[in-house]
Structure 1
Amino acid sequence: MSFDVEKIRADFPALSLTVHGKPLVFLDSAASAQKPLCVLDALYRQYQTEYANVHRGMYELSEKATLNFEQARKKVQNFIHAASDKEIVFTRGATDSINLVAYTWGAANLTADDEIILSQAEHHSNIVSWQILQQRIGFKIKVVPVDDNGDFVFEEYLKLLSDKTKLVAVAHVSNVLGTVFPVKDIVEAAHKAGAVVLLDGCQAATHLLLNMQDLDCDFYAFSGHKLYGPTGIGVLYGKKALLENMPPFEGGGDMIKTVSFEKSVWAEPPARFEAGTPPIMQAIGLGHAIDYVRNIGMENIDAYEHDLCLYLQEQVASVGGTRILGTSAHKTAVVSFVTDFAHPQDIAMVLDQEGVAVRTGHHCAQPLHERFGVSVSVRASLGLYNTKEDIEKFIAALHKAKRFFS
């Protein structure tokens, strides 16, 4: 399929909205992406004619729902090129996926003598989850810095790796800088040191072609709502051998083989990690979102967004008084910046009056903002439906904010 952005935009009802009398310019897809009609229609149809609980009924509706749910798992497997659909665990979101690894693999394998490595660019979910576990166990957390361009300082990473390193948990793409980290090299070096690797793929899954077998990471987490799917659904990819040796995260229905008051026997993965009624509709919606982006082609999306991101960065830099956080050559879909003429929240208020939606704040990455000497920033982030015209309207609104506050 050729990349026809106007045809793509027609698939997203929200893009036809007006805000304060102005056409909506949506530049906040890094927080959560808009949904195409195929996802919305599939959810409505599923609720209307094919809804039932899964893995529990012998009647037709339940069997249909189960089939659709498990087909969604298969779609995720194919999307990320995992070896088996048994390596795909449905969760409530990427934060849930990271916590699952922390409180199953981490709790079972980390000791007070161990070390784990994070990067300076991590989302809070990939920091706080480990700090909570650290309070219980006592292991050390080491941090790889990023340089002034926002690149992962690989030489420092190699210095931190040792025989004490048991886990490396880093972002694939920074949600603030847009930097694409050298994750394949990160994984290879970690494995040579005997460490397990968890990648936070929230900002990568929407923009990049993923191949778990090529990356060779041990765990990979991402959310559905950033990938044009529903909220309330996330994915944890885990290598089969690791999942099979991990204890459950939560107890409840469907994650057991047998239960007695003396002993319970756990189900095999992925059911072991999906206690209770799962996010059925959300998983099915994610499956349709994956169909949508795969029909367009992830390579096509990556190429289009790469050029658009370069244009966005150039245009922001052309506005006097702005400073972009992270100017790596390896970057996708996100441009965060500060100005010398207004606070980010004040800028956002003016942009909103012009119909432009961006995010302001620390973007759940306070340590990274501190590294660049600021507490908050303005973040403009792209989806496959954005255009140069969107960027031009955004820049015009930014100039208006500058005139207003200067």
Structure 2
Amino acid sequence: MSWFPSTFAQELSKRIRNSLAKASIATAAGAAAFSAHHGRADQFEWRNAADGFYFTSLNWNNITGTAIGPPGPSDNVLFNEPGSYETWFANDETADAFDLTAGDVTLRSLGVDRNYSVDRMVIDAGMLTLGTPNDPLHMTSTNIVTVSSGGQLSVVAGSKLVNEISGIGIGPGTTGRVVVDGAGSAIEAARFITGCNACGPGGGELLVSNGGTMTTGLGPHGLHDILGGNGQLIVEDPGSHWLSSQIELQSTAQLLVRNQGRITVGTGAVRGIGPQLMVQDSNSVFRSLGDFEVGAAGMNGTLAARNGGVAQIEGVLRVSPTGNVDLPGGTLTADHLVLEGPLLLKQGDAIVNSFERVGGGAIDWQAGYFTLRGGDGAMNGSLTISGPANEVSAFYVSEGGRLDVDAFVRLGWDP
């Protein structure tokens, strides 16, 4: 099964390179050549290092032509003024491209919610914030949004960003950060990628907090979301939720659910050099509506539920010989558990490449059966259940359930 088809990786890399190239050209001295080559009507540079209205012509410098601002639907917009300032939207606005290369820029409405529509958006350094308290700004990109070179995009105060592909820290060695903070604040994207290996390992970070939401992979072009390279995604606080049709953690990526945050995916996998999916505390939930894989041939992966955290797999949970599931005080539920390595239920230290219950964690097989296999796929695994001292160990197979072990089962045995 190919989680990330090479054709998609090539197309994504091409689109990212094109977007980054456009951002680089936008800051070059030969901006007129940029306009001619890409068919832009004009390129407008924001020139006001203080607050100002988007529609005010004096706030714009046309660096490729003679037309007077503000930018129109076919124009390219460039923010490169240093310092911290706001741009006010009294009307809905449209541009072809949006580039930010410097400054701490806030885009906001005034009294009435406004919409800003562009084809693509590139944040190559600098900080962009959508919205202020009581004045959100909703932004739509019909193509790709990239955040790199240490840049940051914050969606706050009930603002919303809707786009096709979101890429964070997806260039070789680059970093980027995206924050979705506060009730009503949201990002909706057909695809979300951070630290994509196929595009050059990077270190993107996404934080969803204080009731913010992410919805990804559900559009007509939605395949699945990628956390690769050194990417990190955090969903925290009550009301915060990330909904994805399909997710894969690669390389050394980390996905953290904490402080009552929630993640819901259709299907997914954790497999790479050492990716980790961790549900860290009470009332935090990771839920997969379908199958989920931990580890794979030649690749590691960890799924952990800790301190009251819940990992809920409503399909097949497949744990490879190189996969690891840790439950230090957490809860795991799975409709069907397929183990391609040893299963150990006992108090004690972590066992490498094992399915483990420690510190009072709970395990629940809801469909009444699981399959235990050896590393070569044959039915030659072993099942060991060891209770605390002076207590009876027990394994229950209720009516209609099935336990298949092509080897041996031992109860109350401490190796």
**What band does the TM-score fall into relative to the shorter chain?**
under 0.3
Higher Rg of the two aligned structures: 2
* TM-score (normalised: structure 2): 0.20
The structure with higher relative contact order (CA 8 Å, sep 6+) is 1
1 or 2, which has the higher helix percentage? 1
